[in-house]
């Protein structure tokens, strides 16, 4: 199903014409500002996160999960940050906080439940793969995690801003899952979620690495600035496709792309095995960390 001819204007152009895109939540703004400080302290990060009680509760549940070796519930945000690691805690705070800026239907292949599962799996796998990338091309671990966590944020913006078009996309891809999601988006929206998400990243002034990661994550041929972020994210999505997760068109990353990052097939297998070992815990985290929207 396509849009009526009178509404067939690129969603990207329509989004760019909106005067009041969702604002970057205050907590995310403060965390991103803290990331730029060389002397950032755990106490300061804990205080910022605690400004949002719902976010603080989600991060405490996350840090208390067996995935991080915890056997009991944590009650201190400082302890939670110590368990998660400073960078992971910052980037999870940004990812969860930004997700809460949108109203998104829960169900469907690009609904909130599926989107958040894909985001958390992608971020976890990308962080596991990053140390295997040859040093001169290795992305920053924190920015790689954040890029993966936010790489499909275009769907959230679409759901929030144009719910009718989003529901059309969600229902159409559910009925025709064998058709490329990008092709389905192009047919229905005259735009694709990477460019929609990148438009929001520009509006929010997020780091260039994150913007490029989002904009180019379906493009295995990109070799421009910050290429290691979308390149590794493309490979991550191919590997997840082998488990039926995500929207990649293939489960086989190009050999030249793998070689350009110094990755071998055994690196992919080893990293995926680590993720699958913790799959039940990750699925539980998806439920507990799901942003509290419709």
Cα separations (Å) of 237 from 64, 101, 248? Answer: 27, 25, 6
* Domain coverage including residue 249: 102-294
Give the mean model confidence (pLDDT) for residues 108-125: 91
Last residue of one domain, picked from the residues 41, 66, 96 = 96
pLDDT tens digit sequence for 56-69? 988 888 888 777 77
Give 55's contacts (C-beta < 8 A, 6+ positions apart).
27, 49, 93, 96, 97, 100
Residue 3 lies in a domain: no
216 and 114 in a single domain? The answer is yes
> What is the reported pLDDT for 82?
92
* pLDDT grade for 198, boundaries at 50, 70 and 90: very high
CATH number of the structural domain spanning residue 209: 1.10.3210.10
> What is the reported pLDDT for 232?
98
Last residue of one domain, picked from the residues 96, 129, 158 = 96
Give the mean model confidence (pLDDT) for residues 28-55: 91
pLDDT tens digit sequence for 227-244? 999 999 999 999 999 999
Q: How many domains does the chain have?
A: 2
Residue 143 lies in a domain: yes
Residue 8 lies in a domain: no
Last residue of one domain, picked from the residues 53, 77, 96 = 96
224 and 163 in a single domain? The answer is yes
In 3D space, the residue among 250, 243, 249, 246 whose CA is nearest the CA of residue 279 turns out to be 243
81 and 107 in a single domain? The answer is no
68 and 168 in a single domain? The answer is no
Instruction: Give the three-state DSSP class for 158.
Output: helix
> What is the reported pLDDT for 57?
87
4 pLDDT above the threshold of 60: no
Residue 19 lies in a domain: no
* pLDDT grade for 7, boundaries at 50, 70 and 90: very low
């Amino acid at each position: 199903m396509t849009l009526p001819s009178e509404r067939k204007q690129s969603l990207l152009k329509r989004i760019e014409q909106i005067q009041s895109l969702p604002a970057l939540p205050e907590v995310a703004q403060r965390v991103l500002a803290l990331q730029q400080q060389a002397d950032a302290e755990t106490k300061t990060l804990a205080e910022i996160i605690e400004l949002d009680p719902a976010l603080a509760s989600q991060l405490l549940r996350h840090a208390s999960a067996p995935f991080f070796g915890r056997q009991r519930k944590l009650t201190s945000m400082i302890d939670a940050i110590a368990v998660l690691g400073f960078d992971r805690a910052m980037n999870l705070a940004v990812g969860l906080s930004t997700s809460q800026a949108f109203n998104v239907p829960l169900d469907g292949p690009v609904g909130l439940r599926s989107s958040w599962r894909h985001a958390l799996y992608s971020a976890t796998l990308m962080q596991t793969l990053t140390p295997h990338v040859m040093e001169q091309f290795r992305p920053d671990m924190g920015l790689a995690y954040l890029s993966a966590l936010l790489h499909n944020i275009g769907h959230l913006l679409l759901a929030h801003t144009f719910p009718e078009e989003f529901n059309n996309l969600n229902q159409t891809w559910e009925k025709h899952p064998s058709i490329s999601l990008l092709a389905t988006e192009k047919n229905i929206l005259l735009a694709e979620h990477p460019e929609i998400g990148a438009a929001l990243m520009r509006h929010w002034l997020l780091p260039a690495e994150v913007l490029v990661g989002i904009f180019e994550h379906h493009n295995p041929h990109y070799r421009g600035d910050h290429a290691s972020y979308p390149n590794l994210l493309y490979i991550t999505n191919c590997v997840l496709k082998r488990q039926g997760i995500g929207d990649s068109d293939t489960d086989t990353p190009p050999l030249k792309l793998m070689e350009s990052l110094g990755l071998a097939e055994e690196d992919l297998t080893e990293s995926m095995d680590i993720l699958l070992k913790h799959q039940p815990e990750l699925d539980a985290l998806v439920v507990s960390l799901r942003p509290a929207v419709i």
